[in-house]
């Protein structure tokens, strides 16, 4: 079985705008051949979603979800291209799934581009300390693998979807773009949890 590196998956994703899991499956089927994997995605109609992903999405909805008897709340803005799709039950069910996912998975940002570079470097430094003493030729590979897992934990688009862990949220968005025929963008979200960030010190001290 061909070893498909995370970098190869990212390269194919950037080239086709297909979802991470779709890219990995295509690369596995193609034995790691980038061009053949791209052809596989096109044949399945998955890469076509990338063309729609470049179009402007200025309509959409702001949705909310309250979870655990009022202990967790989520607000999310999801955009599409037309008001027609914004009012579509299919689109609204998708948005509801996103709010449920955010409540359960607690991401800190939408995508890796929003992660503070200093935070990534801190994590990378910690990971290097964890593998200190291992052969130098595998340290970088281990560290970068841990960094990828870190992104998959904090970035909404890279988290496994709670209702189907075989799909990332990015995969889910790509599938919905193909299904509805419009660009869809998860623009931003806020997650609240009762007591989060509250100082434990008694009032008045």
Whether 201 shows a pLDDT value over 50: the answer reads no
Is residue 203 included in any domain, yes or no?
Answer: no
Is residue 8 included in any domain, yes or no?
Answer: yes
Whether 202 shows a pLDDT value over 60: the answer reads no
Residue 111: what pLDDT? 93
Residues 14, 98, single domain; the answer is no
Is residue 72 included in any domain, yes or no?
Answer: yes
Question: How much is the average pLDDT of 121-135?
Answer: 85
Residue 205: what pLDDT? 43
Whether 200 shows a pLDDT value over 60: the answer reads no
Residue 49: count of CB within 10 angstroms of its CB: 24
pLDDT band at 168 (very low <50, low <70, confident <90, very high): very high
Residue 2: what pLDDT? 64
Residues 75, 165, single domain; the answer is yes
Q: Round the CA-based radius of gyration of the chain to a whole number and report it.
A: 19
Nearest 10 degrees: CA dihedral of 200, 122, 111, 27? -140
Whether 203 shows a pLDDT value over 60: the answer reads no
pLDDT band at 56 (very low <50, low <70, confident <90, very high): low
- 99-131 as b/e: b if 16+ CB within 10 A: bbbbbebebebbebeebeeeeeeebeeebeeee
Residues 6, 75, single domain; the answer is no
For the chain, the average pLDDT equals: 86
pLDDT band at 53 (very low <50, low <70, confident <90, very high): low
Q: Which of 24-38, 108-122, 128-142, 151-165 has the lowest mean pLDDT?
A: 128-142
Residue 37's domain spans which residues? 1-47
Residue 94: what pLDDT? 97
Residue 90: what pLDDT? 95
Is residue 28 included in any domain, yes or no?
Answer: yes
pLDDT band at 51 (very low <50, low <70, confident <90, very high): low
175-195: pLDDT as tens digits: 999 888 889 999 999 999 988
Residues 60, 133, single domain; the answer is yes
Whether 89 shows a pLDDT value over 90: the answer reads yes
DSSP 8-state symbol, 196? T
- Name the domain count of the chain: 2
Is residue 204 included in any domain, yes or no?
Answer: no
């Amino acid at each position: 079985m061909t070893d498909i590196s995370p970098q190869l998956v990212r390269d194919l994703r950037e080239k086709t705008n297909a979802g991470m899991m779709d890219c990995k499956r295509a690369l596995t089927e193609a034995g790691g051949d980038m061009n053949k994997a791209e052809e596989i995605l096109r044949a399945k109609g998955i890469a076509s979603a990338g063309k729609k992903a470049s179009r402007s999405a200025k309509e959409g909805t702001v949705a909310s979800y309250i979870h655990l008897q009022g202990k967790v709340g989520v607000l999310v803005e999801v955009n599409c291209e037309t008001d027609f799709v914004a009012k579509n039950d299919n689109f609204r069910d998708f948005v509801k799934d996103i709010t449920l996912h955010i409540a359960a998975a607690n991401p800190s940002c939408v995508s890796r581009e929003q992660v503070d570079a200093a935070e990534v470097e801190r994590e990378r430094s910690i990971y290097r300390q964890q593998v200190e003493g291992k052969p130098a030729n595998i340290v970088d590979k281990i560290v970068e693998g841990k960094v990828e897992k870190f992104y998959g934990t904090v970035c909404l688009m890279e988290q496994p979807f709670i209702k189907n862990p075989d799909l990332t949220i990015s995969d889910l968005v790509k599938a919905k773009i193909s299904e509805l025929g419009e660009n869809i963008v998860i623009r931003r979200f806020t997650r609240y949890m009762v007591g989060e960030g509250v100082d434990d010190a008694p009032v008045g001290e």
